[in-house]
């Protein structure tokens, strides 16, 4: 969402990152794979209840994720395999983050006088965010309802990059009040669910136009 809303600013930042890191002897695919290392360290940090350390390692993983695409654009080394690896490892990193938070043991959230466990909202965020938001686009494309042009126009109030940084904000809020992290995850789930509905409705409207 942020990239589509501020494309010039995003491209400028990406260009500067690409120029700097393209000087290092690493290919875009190697940067992509490298992002898994801090994510694994972040997962174990959360497993051992070190929220700050977990945030630090996942911050590095997120930065590495920005490097691979930037370097690919500068060096003109775009490949289908690179795009595939990037998508797969993005999901692994996000899965490690959410699973780590699930095992961390966040406070329950009280909604309408009902105490709900934090792991429920984390699981729903993973289900509707990591899985269904991507699935609605991929399956629509696979069924021929989306093409290269309109797949880029799919709406989404909270896509993967925004989910990642939004949850990161929640991790920082843990040090103000632990339950704030659970609130942020709950809000993330709601926004992911809205994004899921937006994408399903987008595909339905396209199918009616095409009379599929």
Residues 88-122 pLDDT 10s: 898 999 999 999 999 999 999 988 888 999 999 99
Q: Please, which pLDDT band fits residue 15 given cuts at 50, 70 and 90? A: low
Residues 177-195 pLDDT 10s: 999 999 999 999 999 999 9
Higher-confidence residue of 70 and 117: namely: 117
List domains and CATH numbers for the chain. 1-104 (1.20.120.1760), 106-212 (no CATH)
Residues 121-156 pLDDT 10s: 999 999 988 888 888 888 888 887 887 777 777 888
pTM for the model stands at 0.85
Q: Is the pLDDT of residue 36 over 70?
A: yes
Q: Is the pLDDT of residue 22 over 50?
A: yes
Higher-confidence residue of 92 and 71: namely: 92
Higher-confidence residue of 112 and 40: namely: 40
Q: Please, which pLDDT band fits residue 1 given cuts at 50, 70 and 90? A: low
Quickly tell me which residue has 């509905």 as its tokens: 197
């Amino acid at each position: 969402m942020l990239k589509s809303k501020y494309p010039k600013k995003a491209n400028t930042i990406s260009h500067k990152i690409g120029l700097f890191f393209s000087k290092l002897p690493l290919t875009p695919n190697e940067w992509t794979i490298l992002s898994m290392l801090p994510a694994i360290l972040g997962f174990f940090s959360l497993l051992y209840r070190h929220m700050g350390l977990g945030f630090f390692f996942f911050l590095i993983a997120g930065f590495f994720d920005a490097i691979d695409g930037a370097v690919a654009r500068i060096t003109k080394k775009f490949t289908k395999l690179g795009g595939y690896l990037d998508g797969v490892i993005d999901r692994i990193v996000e899965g490690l983050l959410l699973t780590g938070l699930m095992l961390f043991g966040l406070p329950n959230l009280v909604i309408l006088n009902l105490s709900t466990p934090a792991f429920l909202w984390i699981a729903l965020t993973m289900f509707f965010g990591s899985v269904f938001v991507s699935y609605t686009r991929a399956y629509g494309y696979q069924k021929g309802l989306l093409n290269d042009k309109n797949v880029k126009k799919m709406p989404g109030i909270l896509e993967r990059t925004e989910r990642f940084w939004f949850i990161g904000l929640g991790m920082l809020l843990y040090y103000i009040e632990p339950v704030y992290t659970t609130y942020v995850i709950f809000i993330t789930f709601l926004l992911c669910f809205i994004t899921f509905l937006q994408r399903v409705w987008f595909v339905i409207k396209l199918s009616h136009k095409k009379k599929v």
